[in-house]
Amino acid sequence: MIRTMITGLACLALTGCGAVYSSSSVPRDAPGVRVLSLTADSVLTANSTPYVPRALPAVFEANAGAGSDLGAPGAVPPAALSRPVRPGPLALDAPPAVRSGSYAIGIGDVLLLATRSDGSTAAELSGLLAAANRRQGYTVRSDGAIAIPDIGRVPVAGLTLEGAEDALFQALVANNIDPTFSLEVAEFNSGRVSVGGAVANPTVVPVALTELTLDAALAGAGGVSTGNLDFALIRIYRDGRLYRIPIADYLSRPALQKTVLIAGDSVFVGEEFDLDRAQAYFSEQIQRAGLQAAQRSQALAELTTEVGLRRAALDETRGNFQDRFALDAVERDYVYLTGEVRMPSRFPLPFGRQATLADALFESGGFESKTANPGQIYVLRAAADSAEPGAVIAWHLDARNAVMFTVATRMQMRPGDVIFVAEQLITRWNRSISQLVPQVIAAGNAAN
């Protein structure tokens, strides 16, 4: 029996009778095929083939709040800053002293950002540098943030100048931009003190970095302008309380002249009997402040609605793309794996970045360690530089030395590449035997 099997096996092997096992290989002498060794130097040549990875749709880069601009608070009715007429008995009731602190940036303030003027900064901070060169500031919008090109919205309302610098520094670093800059408040519009009544020029005086004193506020309004100083007084309305400083006391006591005013104060110069006009003036200031607050609340509500609609639109568009992606309806670039790999398949090249031979090979489970020949790993690529139709370059990676796998991590894949892992000689022999033995047994049985 054994003699019959050996005889049949020899017959099949020598004469080709029956099915003979054959396997794929990369012939080195085939026309149109160039086999090139893949090394640390030649991988640079392999990677020189131009390829731009497919990009994700722009909707994945969009920001729901990008481009939102609340604008400055709307216009309010002009103030009726008028002059009063005559007197009554006077009493001093000065406002309490307030502790000075660092200026807090508020809505309506204009911040001026200055950056370095060297070439590299001009390239990286073009938007910021242009604004600085034009002396163009950034207005604190109704949502408490400033909108800066290439960075986005940076919340600064309620922060000191130092706190705003820290917030801007973090925003620049987060966007990989050189954080070399200086920041200053160019216009103080958030904190104001209104001055009206018997003054030369009724006005609104901004509260700036330094303390605003009563004499400075009156000077900003052109000074007191009343014909009877003996019966004139200064009324200060603050947080629902009305304070009184007679002009005579004001002129004779320097400490009263240096009374510190805070944002939201209203100052009215008039005569004692003219309380009704003072009350009308303060009521008007309160109404104006309420109207501005209502406008800001409305603007914030509109912004919230707008951002919500934008976010919903972005989510819907992204969801549609992901559904098409799941149904394989999105155009992709692929690399194909065959031979002694764990899972012959196609590997989709990723969006927005390069993929390497190691990515494609090991994403699919790698190769079969028992049957694959690590010395025969090939990347088959159409030869774009050849005039011969169908010419192929076979980049050969000999990974019997495990160090050579580092080259696989640098070998970039191109659309249509085929990764082929050849089998070992013993694998080919075993598979040949596994096909031949059943035929030999069948032939032996037939002979008996």
Task: Using the predicted structure, report yes or no on whether residue 13 has a pLDDT greater than 50.
Answer: no
Assess contact for 235 and 274: CB atoms under 8 A: no
Tokens representing residue 443 in the block: 């032939």
Sign of CA dihedral 315, 318, 321, 326: negative
pLDDT level of residue 318 (50, 70, 90 thresholds): confident
Residue 241, strand partner residues: 238
- Number of helical (H) and strand (E) elements in the chain, helices listed first: 12, 18
Rounded CA-CA distance 31/390 in Å is 10
Assess contact for 364 and 341: CB atoms under 8 A: yes
Assess contact for 334 and 349: CB atoms under 8 A: yes
Rounded CA-CA distance 216/260 in Å is 10
What pLDDT, on the 0 to 100 scale, is given for residue 17?
A: 46
CA-nearest of 380, 408, 382 to 24 is: 380
Tens of pLDDT along 137-158? 788 888 888 888 878 889 998 8
Rounded CA-CA distance 67/69 in Å is 6
More confident of the two residues 212 and 273: 212
More confident of the two residues 63 and 366: 366
Burial class (CB in 10 A: 0-12, 13-18, 19+), 262: middle
Query: 246 — alpha (psi -120 to 50), left (phi > 0) or beta?
Result: beta
In the chain, what are the domain boundaries? Answer: 2-54+332-447, 73-96+190-328, 110-187
Assess contact for 178 and 116: CB atoms under 8 A: yes
Rg (Cα) of the chain, in Å, rounded? 42
Tens of pLDDT along 70-86? 444 455 555 544 444 44
Fold designation for 73-96+190-328: Outer membrane lipoprotein wza fold like (3.10.560)
What pLDDT, on the 0 to 100 scale, is given for residue 72?
A: 47
Fold designation for 110-187: wza like fold (3.30.1950)
Assess contact for 142 and 115: CB atoms under 8 A: no
Tokens representing residue 200 in the block: 């030369």
Assess contact for 12 and 436: CB atoms under 8 A: yes
What is the spatial order of strands in the sheet that 110-115 belongs to?
A: 138-139, 110-115, 181-187
Assess contact for 378 and 422: CB atoms under 8 A: yes
CA-nearest of 421, 415, 335 to 372 is: 421
Assess contact for 357 and 411: CB atoms under 8 A: yes
CA distances from 82 to 75, 90, 198, 202 (A): 20, 22, 7, 8
- 73-96+190-328 matches 2-54+332-447 in CATH topology: yes
Strands 110-115 and 138-139: antiparallel
What pLDDT, on the 0 to 100 scale, is given for residue 68?
A: 44
Tens of pLDDT along 251-275? 889 998 899 998 888 898 887 656 6
Average pLDDT, the chain: 79
Tens of pLDDT along 395-447? 999 988 888 889 999 999 999 999 999 988 876 777 777 777 776 676 666 66
Average pLDDT over residues 202-223: 89
What pLDDT, on the 0 to 100 scale, is given for residue 20?
A: 58
Torsion of CA 276, 281, 283, 289, to 10 degrees: -170
Strands 266-271 and 418-423: unpaired
Give the least confident one: 179-183, 258-262, 387-391: 387-391
CA-nearest of 158, 117, 114, 150 to 135 is: 114
Task: Using the predicted structure, report yes or no on whether residue 230 has a pLDDT greater than 90.
Answer: no
Which three-class secondary structure string do you get for 227-280?
A: CCCCCEEEEEEECCEEEEEEHHHHHHCHHHHCCEECCCCEEEEEECCCHHHHHH
Which residues make Cβ contacts (< 8 Å) with residue 367, sequence separation at least 6?
A: 339, 340, 341, 342, 361, 374, 377, 421
Average pLDDT over residues 82-96: 64
CATH 3.30.1330.10, domain 2-54+332-447, yes or no = no
Tokens representing residue 351 in the block: 């969006």
Give the least confident one: 16-20, 53-57, 301-305: 16-20
Percent of the chain at pLDDT > 70 equals 77
CA distances from 161 to 100, 149, 210 (A): 15, 20, 13
Rounded CA-CA distance 443/438 in Å is 9
